[in-house]
C-alpha cells in the first residue's frame, strides 16, 4: 500500500513538472535558471555529502528522493504561480529555495539506521 502511494505521488509530481515545462517552452518563458533548478541542488548535495561533515548511511539515500520532490514542486509553483514577477525572478527564487533545501536536508537529517 505504501508503494502505491509513493509511486502515485511520484507520477503526479512528474506529470505536473512536465506540464509546467511544456507550458514554459511554448510561452518562451523557459530560462536557463530553470535548467539549473534541476541540476544545482543535486550537485550541491553531492559535494556536501562528499565532504563527510556528517556521518550518513545507505538509509540516508532517502534525502535525494525528498530533494527531487521539492525540486519538482518548486518548478511547478514557479511555472504556474506569481505571474506578476518575471520569469527570471521566479526561476532564481525557485533555485535558491531548492539549493537551500539541499543544504538543510543534509544538515538536519541525522544518521538513519540501516
Residue 28 confidence (pLDDT) above 90: no
Task: Tell me the pLDDT tens digit for each residue of 46-83.
Answer: 999 999 888 888 888 899 999 999 999 999 999 888 88
pLDDT band at 97 (very low <50, low <70, confident <90, very high): very high
On whether the pTM is more than 0.75, the answer is yes
CA dist., res. 99 & res. 44, Å (int): 7
| Residue-wise burial string across 102-114, b where 16 or more C-beta atoms lie within 10 A, e elsewhere | beebbeeeeeeee
- The mean pLDDT value of the chain amounts to 91
What residue segments make up the domains of the chain, in order of their start?
A: 2-108
pLDDT, residue 114, reads 81
Amino acid at each position: 500500500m505504501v508503494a502505491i502511494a509513493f509511486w502515485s505521488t511520484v507520477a503526479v509530481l512528474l506529470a505536473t513538472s512536465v506540464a509546467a515545462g511544456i507550458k514554459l517552452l511554448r510561452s518562451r518563458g523557459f530560462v536557463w535558471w530553470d535548467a539549473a533548478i534541476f541540476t544545482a541542488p543535486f550537485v550541491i548535495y553531492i559535494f556536501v555529502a562528499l565532504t563527510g561533515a556528517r556521518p550518513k548511511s545507505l538509509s540516508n539515500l532517502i534525502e535525494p528522493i525528498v530533494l527531487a520532490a521539492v525540486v519538482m514542486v518548486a518548478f511547478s509553483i514557479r511555472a504556474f504561480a506569481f505571474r506578476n514577477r518575471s520569469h527570471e525572478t521566479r526561476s532564481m527564487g525557485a533555485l535558491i529555495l531548492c539549493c537551500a533545501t539541499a543544504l538543510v536536508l543534509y544538515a538536519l537529517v541525522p544518521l538513519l539506521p540501516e
